[in-house]
């Protein structure tokens, strides 16, 4: 088989964008050129690499395997380029990070600190729900992943770098607000607004309540911390939220943290990457910054 590295890069762009047009745009070539290069690549392999269904590209089994191999080759080449840049003083390179949505409350500040130290580093940040981050981790699309509940079924390097306490919150002015020493019996008549199934916060909440043999009366399940805060402030129920989502002054959002036995639920933020992956100098530098700067983040 004869395939150029540029053709492999183009095929990766096709896999990531889902269209020939998108791949051409990423690689800064015309669509006819992209189509010709992809056709030549398929001819070289001798098998169909993709098919178009409803204007969307779907990779064949051979295409999926080629994308895996091409991504590994591209990652190794990028790592070598960043190694060279590291020898020269970490002046250039690219950092790819995927984080769960709750991490958006602190990761941008840490990225700002990192970019101030290394202004010529290009940063790509993906903010997704936990399932989206896990899918990217499975495909090894990024350098580092930030989440509170790393998957147990993937070979990963997992390091805890910061606490993520989960608070029980109620509307400001709620009958339980300001009371001390509350217990779960005080919640029997309350309705709850919880994060969606599969989120790290929801997983920790469900485990905690199961351990206490408490079954919350769930009114709503929402996929956004901000939507949950608004629903709580509107009197629709109580919620369990990360202290990072509450900020330094929850009262501004019309909510208050309750003094409840068993809360905050202990949880942690994790830095994750695929097992056996060799971090680039840029990724290693950002990982070190996360560990250093986490101590300076105030929660409540």
| Helix and strand counts by DSSP (H, E) for the chain | 10, 12
CB 42 within 8 A of CB 51: no
Q: Which of 299, 267, 250 is nearest to 166 (CA)?
A: 267
- 0.85 exceeded by the pTM? no
pLDDT category at 55 given cuts 50, 70, 90 is confident
pLDDT band at 93 (very low <50, low <70, confident <90, very high): confident
Q: For position 91, what pLDDT does the model report?
A: 60
CA atoms of 153 and 160, how far apart (whole Å): 18
Q: Which fold has domain 90-163+268-296?
A: D-Maltodextrin-Binding Protein; domain 2 (3.40.190)
Kindly list the domain boundaries of the chain, sorted by start residue: 5-67, 90-163+268-296, 166-257
- What pLDDT band is residue 169 in, cutting at 50, 70 and 90? very high
Q: Is 162 helix (H, G, I), strand (E, B) or coil?
A: strand
Identify any residues that bridge with 274 across adjacent strands, giving them in sequence order. Answer: 156
How far apart, in Å, are the Cα atoms of 77 and each of 26, 68, 105, 170? 18, 14, 33, 51
Residue-wise DSSP of 221-265: EES-HHHHHHHHHTTS-BEEEEHHHH-S-GGGGTEEE--BTT-SB
Over residues 189-204, mean pLDDT: 94
Q: Which helix (H) or strand (E) holds 72?
A: helix 61-87
CA distances from 240 to 91, 104, 148, 218 (A): 42, 17, 14, 12
How does pLDDT run across 141-157, given as a tens digit for each residue? 999 999 999 999 999 99
In the block, tokens 């199961």 appear at: 210
* Same fold across 90-163+268-296 and 166-257: yes
* 97 beta partners: 125, 144
pLDDT, tens digit (0-9, with 9 covering 90-100), for 77-87: 877 776 776 65
**pLDDT tier at 286 (50, 70, 90 boundaries)?**
very high
What is d(CA 229, CA 233) in angstroms, rounded to the nearest whole number? 6
Question: pLDDT tens digit string along 221-274?
Answer: 999 999 999 999 999 999 999 999 998 788 888 999 999 999 999 999 999 999
pLDDT of residue 59: 93
Identify the residue with better confidence: 295 or 184: 184
CATH of 5-67, one of 3.30.70.1880, 3.40.50.300, 3.40.190.10, 1.10.10.10: 1.10.10.10
Mean pLDDT in residue range 274-280:
87
In whole angstroms, what separates CA 9 from the centre of its chain?
24
CATH superfamily of domain region 166-257: Periplasmic binding protein-like II (3.40.190.10)
Quick one: pLDDT band at residue 113, thresholds 50, 70, 90? Answer: very high
CA distances from 130 to 100, 173, 232, 262, 299 (A): 5, 33, 23, 25, 22
């Amino acid at each position: 088989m004869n395939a150029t590295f540029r053709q492999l890069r183009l095929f990766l762009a096709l896999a990531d964008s889902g269209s020939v047009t998108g791949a051409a745009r990423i690689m800064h070539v015309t669509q006819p050129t992209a189509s010709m290069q992809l056709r030549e690549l398929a001819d070289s392999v001798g098998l169909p690499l993709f098919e178009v269904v409803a204007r969307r590209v779907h990779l064949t089994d051979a295409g999926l395997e080629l994308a895996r191999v091409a991504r590994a080759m591209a990652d190794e080449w990028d790592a070598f380029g960043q190694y060279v840049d590291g020898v020269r003083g970490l002046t250039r390179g690219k950092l790819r990070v995927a984080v769960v949505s709750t991490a958006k409350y602190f990761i941008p500040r840490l990225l700002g600190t990192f970019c101030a130290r290394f202004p010529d580093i290009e940063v790509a940040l993906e903010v997704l729900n936990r399932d989206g981050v896990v899918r990217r981790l499975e495909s090894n699309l990024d350098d580092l992943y930030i989440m509170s509940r790393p998957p147990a079924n993937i070979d990963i390097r997992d390091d805890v770098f910061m606490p993520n306490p989960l608070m029980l919150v109620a509307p400001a002015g709620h009958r339980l607000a300001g009371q001390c020493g509350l217990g779960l019996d005080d919640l029997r008549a309350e309705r709850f607004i919880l994060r969606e199934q599969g989120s790290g916060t929801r997983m920790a909440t469900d485990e905690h309540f199961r351990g206490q043999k408490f079954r919350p009366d769930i009114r709503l399940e929402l996929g956004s911390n901000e939507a949950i805060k608004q629903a709580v402030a509107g009197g629709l129920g109580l919620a369990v939220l990360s202290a990072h989502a509450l900020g330094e002054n929850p009262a501004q959002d019309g909510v208050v943290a309750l003094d409840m036995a068993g809360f905050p639920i202990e949880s942690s933020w994790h830095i994750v990457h695929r097992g056996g992956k060799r971090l680039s100098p840029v990724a290693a530098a950002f990982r070190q910054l996360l560990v250093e700067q986490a101590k300076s983040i105030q929660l409540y």
